[in-house]
Structure 1
Amino acid sequence: MDFGADPYPKYAWLREQEPVVQVMEGQGLYGLLVTRYEDVRMLLSDTRMSKDPRNAPLDWQEAGKGRPLEDRTGLGTHLLTTDGLEHTRLRRLVSTAFTARRVESLRGQVQQITDGLLDEIVPRGRVDLVTEFAFPLAITVICELLGVPSADQEMFRRWTKDFRRWTNKTGSDQAESENARPVGLRDLLGYLTELVDKRREVPADGLVDALIAARDDDDRLNETELLSMMSLLLIGGFETTVNLIGNGTLALLRHPDQLALLREQPHLVEPALEEMLRYDGSFETATWRFPLEPIEIAGTRIEKGHPVLLSLASADRDQAKFKEPDRFDVMRSDNGHVAFGRGAHFCLGAPLARLEGRIAFDGLLRRLPGLTLAVPPEELRWQRSLTIRGLESLPVTFDA
C-alpha cells in the first residue's frame, strides 16, 4: 500500500529513527517534517514559530506553494498567515461573529440538510459518500452560515470543487499553471465582494453581516481582511467536515466490531468522533511554520526561517502518547489528539465540524443498515496534498 493510502507505518519509523526529517516536493519546495507528539504539540503553540510566509527564505517563497498566499490565491491577511498581536486582533474580531451560539443555531438546518440528502440516498442502495453526501452537506451548511441564497449555492459547489482540484496539485504544478489561481477562486472572490456590497445596503442575519459589523472599539476588519476571512471559513470549513465524514466512515467500515458497537450504543458518537479525528483526521499536517530564531527539536537544529511542517497524523498515532495507537477504539478515553491544532491557532471551525459530524453519523447509522465498502480498500483514491488527508471518493452499498 502506498504512502498516500497508509502513511502510518512510515510515520512510526520516522518517530523512532528520524523524528525531524527533510521533505521535498516538486522543484525547490522543501522543509522539515516533525513527527513526534510532544514536539508537534509544543511547536503548535510556540510563539517562536511564525505563520507569516514573509519570514521564510525568498527562494522558498518563490517555489510553488512557497510563494505568499495572496500571490497564489488573491487572499490577503487572515488567521493562517499572521502571528502575535495581528493574529490576536483578527481572531478577536472574527470570534465576535463566529460564536458558539451562531454555530449551535445551525443545528436545525444541519439536521434538515442531512435528512434531505439521506432521503434521496436511502432508496438507492449505493452511493459515493464523499461526493454525494459529505461534500454537499458541508458546502450547503457553509453557504447557510454565510447567508448565501439557495439559488447561488450550486455555483459555490462548482467553485469549491475547482479550488479543491487545484490545491491537490503539487506546488510546481500550481506555479506552472496558465493562471495564477483557479477560475473557481476568482469567481468566488468576485461573488463574495458583491455579497458584501449587497449586505452593506440591505443587512440580513448571516455570518457575512456579523463580520461586516464585527468591531472592537474603533477597530474592524478592512475589505481585504473581510474577504480573506470569509474565503478561509468557506474553504477550511467544508474540507474539515468532508474529510471527517469520509475518513471516519472508512474507519468504521474497516473495523466492523466498532461499527456494530456504535449502532448498538449511539450515545458513543461523541467519543467516536474524537477517535475518528485522532485515528485518521482531516489534515495530515498543520500549515507551514517558520522559526523566528534557531530552535532545537529532537536533537536537530532548525535555523531561523527554515520552513517546518508539523505532522498531526503522525503525532496522533504516537505510541509514546496513546496506548495501542493503531487500534481504532470508539470508547477510547486517552484522546488528547491534536487534529484541530492547539494554542492561538486552534481551528476556529472545530465546533461546526463536530456539530456536523454528530448529526451526519447519527443519520448514517440509523438510516443505512448493512453499510459496506463497494470496492476493495486498495482501490480507494486519496487526495494528493501536503496538508489535506481525505478521500476523493467512498463508494458504499447498503440495504435499500
Structure 2
Amino acid sequence: MTETGDPSVEPARIYQQIHQFANRANPYGLYAELRQTPVVKLENGAYVVNTYEHIVALLHDPRISSDQRNLAHPPATAPLPPSFIITDPPEHDRLRGLAMRHFGPPHSPLVVENMRGELQELVKELIDGIADRKQADIVDDVAYPFPVTVICRLLGVPREDESKFHVWADEVVETLGPGEGDQEERIQRRQAAQLALAGYLGELAQARRENPRDDLLSGLVTYHGPEGSMSEIEVMTTSVLLLIAGHETTVNLITNGMLTLLRNPGLLYRLREEPDLVIGAVEELLRFEPPVHFLPQRVALDDITVAGVTIPKGANIILALASGSRDPEHVTDPDRFDPDRPYIQHLGFGGGIHICFGAPLARLEAQVALRQLAKRLVNPRLVTDPPPYRPSSTLRGPRHLPITYDGVLPYEGP
C-alpha cells in the first residue's frame, strides 16, 4: 500500500474497483483499503477524500463549492439551471429557504410530525397486501411504494402518474456520479430524463398556479414574500430535486435496513420486543449501510491542503461518505452493526449547509416501515444473500429483496 497522502496509481485503482458492479454487494473492504490514503488523485484530476475527519472539515469549509460552474474546466451548459443542492450561497440559501418554509421549521414546523399517522396507515396497508402470501419482495411491495406515495402526496403529484416519472427518476439516479460506461453518454441520458421530468412537473406547477391546493408544489408557485419567490424554472428544478430525492434514497434506506436486520436475527427479535430500538437502528443504518455513498460534485475555490495533499483551485473533489462513516479513527468496531452505540455520528445525510433537506421525513419513514415489518412478519428469511443490486454505486441499494415468511400478524398499532 502507498504512503498516506500519496496520490498514486494503486489507491486510484482501488477507487475504480469500488464502482465496478461486481463489488456493489460489499464495497466496504475496498473502502478500508482506500482510507489508507486519505486523499486520492484520479487520472482525470479529481481528488477523492475518504476519512471522516477530513470529509467533515470539507463539508463545512467555505472554500468548497457545490457549483460545477466553478471547475477549472466546467462542463458544457446544461439544459436546466442547477437545483439548490448544487449551488452556493446566496443563491442556495434563497432557494432552500423558499422550499423549506413549506416543509419544516421555522414556518412549517409540524409538517413531518403531522404525517406520522398517515405514514403508519400506509405501511399497514402495504403489509396487509402481502398477508396472504409466503413470499414478497421488500423493494417492490413496501420500500418503493411507501416513500413514493408519501412524496407524491406531499408535493401534490398524482400517484397514478408514478409509471411516468419512475422511468425518468430511475434514469437520473442510475447515471448519477461515477460509474461504468461512457461518461458523456451517461450525462446525455441523465439530462434527457431531467428535461422530461421537469416538463411534466412544469405542467403540474402551472395547474397549481391556476388552482392551488394544500400541497408543497402549490406553496412553491403561490408564495410571494419579502425574500421573493421562485421563478417558473426554479419551481421546476426544485420539484425535480424533491421528487427524486424524496423517494429514491428512502427506498435504499428501508431496503438496506431490512437486509441488515435479516442478517442479524437477534436484533430483529429485539426490535419486535423493543419498538423504540428502531430510533438507534435507523441512525446506525445511516452509518453502516447508507443510501448515499458519494458526494461527487464539490469544487475547490482555492488551493486547499488536506492530509498533506494540496488540492488545486478549480479541482473536482469527491467525498466518499460511506467510507468516512466506517472510519475506525472515528468509530470503534466500524464494521459491526450496533444500534446501541451511545453516540452515533454518521455522514448518511451529508453535512454543512447542504445537509439533506428531507432528513426528518426519511428518518420517520424508515422508523415506521422497519418497526412494522419487524413486528408483523413471522420468521422472515432472505431468499438470496446478497440480493441483486441496482447499478448505481453512488445511490447504492438492492434492486430487489426477496424474502419468505411464515405469516403476517394482525396490525396492533404503531
Do these two structures clear the TM 0.5 threshold for a shared fold by scoring above it? yes
Q: Distance in 1 between matches of 2:51 and 2:254?
A: 26
Report deviation, 1:197. 0.9
Q: Report percent identity of matched pairs.
A: 40
Q: Distance in 2 between matches of 1:21 and 1:266?
A: 42
Q: Distance in 1 between matches of 2:187 and 2:39?
A: 35
Q: Distance in 1 between matches of 2:148 and 2:213?
A: 20
1:381 aligns with 2:364: no
Q: Distance in 1 between matches of 2:253 and 2:187?
A: 33
Secondary structure at the counterpart of residue 347 of structure 1:
coil
2:3 — aligned with what? Answer: none
Secondary structure at the counterpart of residue 338 of structure 1:
coil
Give the letter aligned to residue 134 of structure 2: G
Q: Distance in 1 between matches of 2:185 and 2:339?
A: 44
Q: Distance in 1 between matches of 2:112 and 2:223?
A: 16
Deviations 1:70-95, CA, capped at 9 Å, x for gaps: x2xx4423222211211111121111
The answer to whether the 8 Å contact 1:281/1:313 transfers is: yes
Alignment of 1:185-224 (within 5 A): 185-217=194-226, 219-224=228-233
Which segment drifts farther, 236-245 or 206-215?
206-215
Alignment of 1:179-328 (within 5 A): 180-181=189-190, 185-217=194-226, 219-328=228-337
Report deviation, 1:108. 2.7
Report deviation, 1:219. 1.1
Q: 2:47 aligns with which of 17, 32, 36?
A: 32
The answer to whether the 8 Å contact 2:175/2:189 transfers is: no
1:351 aligns with 2:360: yes
Q: Distance in 1 between matches of 2:383 and 2:42?
A: 35
Q: 1:125 aligns with which of 114, 134, 139?
A: 134
Give the letter aligned to residue 272 of structure 1: A
Give the letter aligned to residue 25 of structure 2: A
1:44 — aligned with what? Answer: 59
When residues 115 and 155 of structure 1 are mapped into structure 2, their CA distance, relative to the original with a 3 A threshold, is farther
Secondary structure at the counterpart of residue 378 of structure 2:
coil
The answer to whether the 8 Å contact 2:151/2:247 transfers is: yes
In the superposition, the TM-score normalised over structure 1's length comes to 0.89
Report deviation, 1:386. 4.5
1:399 — aligned with what? Answer: 406
Give the letter aligned to residue 138 of structure 2: L
Specify which structure has the higher proportion of helix.
1
The answer to whether the 8 Å contact 1:317/1:325 transfers is: yes
2:344 — aligned with what? Answer: 335
1:56 aligns with 2:71: yes
The answer to whether the 8 Å contact 1:369/1:398 transfers is: yes
Q: Distance in 2 between matches of 1:178 and 1:35?
A: 25
Report deviation, 1:218. 5.1
1:81 aligns with 2:90: no
When residues 247 and 14 of structure 1 are mapped into structure 2, their CA distance, relative to the original with a 3 A threshold, is same
Secondary structure at the counterpart of residue 106 of structure 1:
helix
Q: Distance in 2 between matches of 1:370 and 1:355?
A: 25
Q: Distance in 1 between matches of 2:239 and 2:38?
A: 36
Q: Distance in 2 between matches of 1:33 and 1:82?
A: 20
Report deviation, 1:257. 2.0
Q: Distance in 1 between matches of 2:212 and 2:374?
A: 39
Q: Distance in 2 between matches of 1:54 and 1:186?
A: 19
2:33 — aligned with what? Answer: 13
The answer to whether the 8 Å contact 2:202/2:235 transfers is: no
When residues 169 and 121 of structure 1 are mapped into structure 2, their CA distance, relative to the original with a 3 A threshold, is farther
Q: Distance in 1 between matches of 2:132 and 2:167?
A: 26
Which segment drifts farther, 131-140 or 153-162?
153-162
Unaligned runs of 5+ in 1: none
Q: Distance in 2 between matches of 1:166 and 1:36?
A: 25
Alignment of 1:90-105 (within 5 A): 90-99=95-104, 100-105=109-114
Secondary structure at the counterpart of residue 129 of structure 2:
helix
In the superposition, the TM-score normalised over structure 2's length comes to 0.86
Secondary structure at the counterpart of residue 370 of structure 2:
helix
Q: Distance in 1 between matches of 2:247 and 2:288?
A: 20
The answer to whether the 8 Å contact 1:77/1:224 transfers is: no
The answer to whether the 8 Å contact 1:45/1:345 transfers is: no
Secondary structure at the counterpart of residue 101 of structure 1:
coil
Q: 2:381 aligns with which of 362, 372, 381?
A: 372
Deviations 1:115-137, CA, capped at 9 Å, x for gaps: 22111112211111113321111
Q: Distance in 2 between matches of 1:126 and 1:182?
A: 38
Q: Distance in 2 between matches of 1:115 and 1:259?
A: 18
When residues 384 and 300 of structure 1 are mapped into structure 2, their CA distance, relative to the original with a 3 A threshold, is farther
Deviations 1:127-172, CA, capped at 9 Å, x for gaps: 1111332111111111011112343344333443444445488475
Q: Distance in 2 between matches of 1:133 and 1:23?
A: 39
Alignment of 1:171-182 (within 5 A): 173=182, 175-176=184-185, 180-181=189-190
Report deviation, 1:54. 0.6
When residues 23 and 280 of structure 1 are mapped into structure 2, their CA distance, relative to the original with a 3 A threshold, is farther
Secondary structure at the counterpart of residue 125 of structure 2:
helix
1:151 — aligned with what? Answer: 160
Report deviation, 1:215. 4.1
Unaligned runs of 5+ in 2: 1-20, 408-414
